[in-house]
Each structure stands twice: as C-alpha cells, then as structure tokens.
Amino acid sequence: MRKTKTRAPGAPSIAILLSLSVAHFFNDAFQSLVSAAYPVLKEGLSLTFTQVGFIALTYQLCASLPQPVFGTLFDKHPRPWYLTAGTLSTMTGLVLLSLSGSLHPAMLAVAFIGLGSSIIHPEASRLTHVASGGRHGLAQSIFQVGGNLGGSIGPLLAAAVIAPYGQRYLLVFAGVAIIAAITKRPIARWCRENRDALRARPVVPVASSRHALSRRRVVVTLGILLVLIFSKYVYTASLTNFYTFYLIEKFGVTTGQSQIFLFAYLFATAAGTLLGGPLGDRFGRDRVIWISILGTAPFSLLMPHLGLAGTCAASVLVGLILSSAFPAILVYAQELLPTRVGLISGLFFGLAFGIAGVAAAVLGNVADASGLARVYDLCAYMPLLGAVAIFLPDIRRG
C-alpha cells in the first residue's frame, strides 16, 4: 500500500475530488434525464399530472429514504465498490424505463434509478469530505458542481434524443452508464490505497467551535437546517418537475424549447453551487445560507407575473442564488456532527430528495385541480422561510 498518496490530513486531493465530481456528473445527468423525459412518458403512457407526480414520488423516495441507512453503513464499513454498485442499479433502471409500457413498470424502473442515487450521494459526499484536506466547502462545491452540471445537461440530452425519437432511446443512456461505472476505477483504487484513513475518518478538529454548542443547541440548529432544506426543495421541485409543462402551457413553446429553458435554469444552479462552498469557507456558512435562500424570494415572487423572457431570466437568477445554499448547509451540518459524516450526508441528501418527491406528488395534484399557474403562485412564497437562517450560530473555527 502506497502511503504517500494518503491526503486525509493534508492538502486536498484534487484528482480524487475531480473524479468524484465526474461520478456526481453522471449520476445527476441520468436523474435529470428522467425528469426531463416526463413529458414524453406522460404522452407515450397516457398519464395524468397526478400519475407523473407518483412516478416522481417513487423515484424521490427510493433516492431518499435509504440514504441515511447507506451513509451509516459506509461510515462503519467502507468498501471501494459502493459507487460502482450504485451506477449498476441506475443502469438497470434505465433499461427497464426504456421498455416500460404503463405506469407501474415505469415506477419500478425509476425505483432502481433512485436506489442507485441513494448509494452514490452519501458515499461520494463522504469520500469528498475525506479528500478535502480540511477545505470542506471548496471540496463540496467541486463535488456538487459536477452534479449540477450533469443535472443541467439532462434536459439537453432529452431534447436531442428522447423527445424526437421516443422513450425507447433511454436504452442509449443505459450504455453510457457502463462508461460511468468504468470512470469510477481511480476512486476505487484510491479507496484501497487509503483504507486506513477512510476507516479512521472523520477526525474531530480540536479547534472546532462545535464544542461550544450544547447538545440541545445542536439539535435545534439541525432543525433550522431542515426547515431550510424544506423551503429550498419544495420550490426546487416545482421547477425541476413542472417547469417545462408550465412554459408549454403558459407560453406555447415546444417540448424541445422548454427543455432548453430548463437547461438554462439547471446550468445556473451549477454556477451557484460552485460559489456556495468557497464563500462559506471564507465568510461563514450561516451567512451564505440565509442570503442564498432569502435572496431568492424577490425573483420567485415576480416570476409568475412575467412574460417568457422575464420568466426565463428570473429562473436563471433563482438557480444561481438558491443553489449556493446546499453545499453550505451540508458542510455546516457535517461540522456540527463531524464524527458522522456519512450519516449526515445521507440524511441531508435523503431529505432533499424525499421532500422534493413528496412535493412533486402534491404539486402534481394541485396542477391537475387548479392549473400549473397555481403551483407557481403558491411556491413563490417558499424562499421566505429562509428568514429562519438568521438564527443559525456561527460555527466557524477560530
């Protein structure tokens, strides 16, 4: 075993962080491809908005509920093959979804895709923490931006391949998943070379101001973070799952055009994510969190009342500002409980997906009952919950 490659206590292992970012890129590209394909599935399988919401709910629950369990397992029993197993689950789901002819097979297919994501997120985030060399915000931003770039490209892939050629061409991306599995080999090799550091991590920093917080204060702070996750991901669910339908219904754009506008929003989220972690390292994560979520409110409140160009511009600003919150929230929570990084990663990724899934089902029902405009009228107020972030304690290390 080559000890010289162990980077846990020193400088960030940039090569491994980039590899983890690429793993996140592929995973989230497959996820957003599924979401962007909802209009094709709705038409091809003759689904209602409520049924589309149930497909989204199934996916999100399978991508969320197992994550804390997997995170705890990965903390206690690290293995180099976990990421590859997650990718193979996703590949199975893509194959099944390409062949689905009705609602229930489609729900089974997205369950496999969700399970793959529930493996990859906590494990890759845990490895990112280990490889960070102490620069946790920077490392999480590198990791997260890969996911957001992947998420932004999914709609373009759907517009180029799925929309014109149909659901069966999802099989093409099952082949891409094989390539994604191969790209994880350097990470597996690094895990084997750094097995002792992975088992020993995370080490609680002596200077961490977390020791100044009582257990009750930690619990209350985690509760505040959960409120912020709720506000962020309910609003995000309205854009990720129904933005294309909203643009088609309100402005009469084509499916392909709507997916390009969705790409613009998702690309902006990638840019915002890249900023959130380093800004949190420099200025304090609590400040970044409350500015990013509450700062979204003016644009979310305006968006339902704008024309097509204004709507798209507002969505880009929303994506840019709001996305900077998650890396700051995640690292903040990891610093609150630094000996449970896998658990915290799984919990917060899981809650993000779970809240988004439940919101998708509820919002789908609202859309069927009252129209898509009503969805955005209601969701516009969610970022105002960001005001509770002002009560977060400053846990920067002094």
- Tell me the pLDDT tens digit for each residue of 106-164: 889 999 998 998 888 888 888 887 787 767 777 877 887 787 778 778 777 887 888 78
Specify if 397 maps to a domain: no
Beta-carbon contacts of residue 343 (< 8 Å; ≥ 6 apart): 68, 71, 72, 75, 337
Q: Looking at this protein, which amino acid is placed at residue 198?
A: L
Specify if 314 maps to a domain: yes
Specify if 3 maps to a domain: no
pLDDT of amino acid 270: 76
**Mean pLDDT throughout 27-51?**
82
Task: Choose among 149, 171, 152, 153: nearest CA to 162.
Answer: 171
Q: Which domain holds residue 177?
A: 10-202+211-391
Residue 92: pLDDT band with limits 50, 70, 90:
very high
In the predicted model, is pLDDT for residue 6 greater than 60?
A: no
CA 194/CA 222 separation, integer angstroms: 31
Q: At what angle do helices 103-131 and 341-370 cross, to 10 degrees?
A: 150
pLDDT of amino acid 112: 93
In the predicted model, is pLDDT for residue 346 greater than 80?
A: no
Q: Are 271 and 210 in contact (CB under 8 A)?
A: no
Q: What total number of domains does the chain contain?
A: 1
Q: SS3 of 196, please?
A: helix
Write out pLDDT tens, residues 319-343.
889 888 877 888 888 778 776 777 7
Residue 5: pLDDT band with limits 50, 70, 90:
very low
pLDDT of amino acid 396: 59
In the predicted model, is pLDDT for residue 347 greater than 70?
A: yes
CB atoms within 10 A of CB 391: 12
Task: Choose among 323, 330, 137, 333: nearest CA to 221.
Answer: 333
Specify if 297 maps to a domain: yes
Specify if 396 maps to a domain: no
Tokens of 190: 């690094």
CB atoms within 10 A of CB 135: 18
In the predicted model, is pLDDT for residue 17 greater than 60?
A: yes
**Mean pLDDT throughout 32-57?**
81
CA 226/CA 228 separation, integer angstroms: 5
Higher pLDDT, 382 or 346: 382
Specify if 1 maps to a domain: no
CA–CA distances in Å: residue 77 to residues 63, 80, 351, 357: 21, 10, 23, 29
pLDDT of amino acid 69: 82
Specify if 67 maps to a domain: yes
Specify if 2 maps to a domain: no
- CATH code for the domain in which residue 171 is found: 1.20.1250.20
Tokens of 206: 């002596």
